[in-house]
Amino acid sequence: MYTGVLLAVFLLALLFSLRDKTIDVPDCIPFGEAYSEPRIEQLDENTYQVYMVASMWNFEPSEIYLPVGSEVDFYLTTKDVVHGFHISEKNLNMMAVYGGINKVTVQFDEPGIYPIVCHEYCGAGHQNMKAEVIVNYPN
Ligand code: CUA
């Protein structure tokens, strides 16, 4: 008797888990030229793309100079282990995963220095792994 009930619950749970799901996940771009040159590209006056490569224990590029009002697409990958990518002022949190590229778009409307830190433990140099977005500074 209980066996039958348990079996029914199990089968229902199985069906439930197989139903269609729509879950928000970050943009994940097929791995291609991920390790081509880390760089900053300017698309137009206010639009930039940053191709950022994380590795033990730094980000490239590590200093990103932008004018106020910039909209930036960050494309992020790693050469080795999993790293984090955290911009506290923007409440932004992304992972750098080997074999994949993550993307996020950020608007910088206030001048200042925005530290980017690795917030995923990645080895002995983890606490020194950082970069900066510098918006209209000095100016
Ligand atoms: Cu990279 Cu912690």
Q: What is the pLDDT of residues 68-112, one digit of tens each?
A: 999 999 999 998 899 999 999 999 999 999 888 999 999 999 999
Share of the chain above pLDDT 90, in %: 65
pLDDT at 7: 76
pLDDT at 40: 94
DSSP reduced 3-state for 124: coil
Residue 129, ligand 1, Cβ within 6 A: yes
pTM, 2 dp = 0.74
Ligand 1 midpoint to CA 61 (Å): 15
Question: Is the confidence at residue 18, as pLDDT, over 90?
Answer: no
Residue 59, ligand 1, Cβ within 6 A: no
Residue whose CA is closest, atom 1 of ligand 1? 83
Q: Which residues contact 45 (CB under 8 A, 6 or more apart)?
A: none
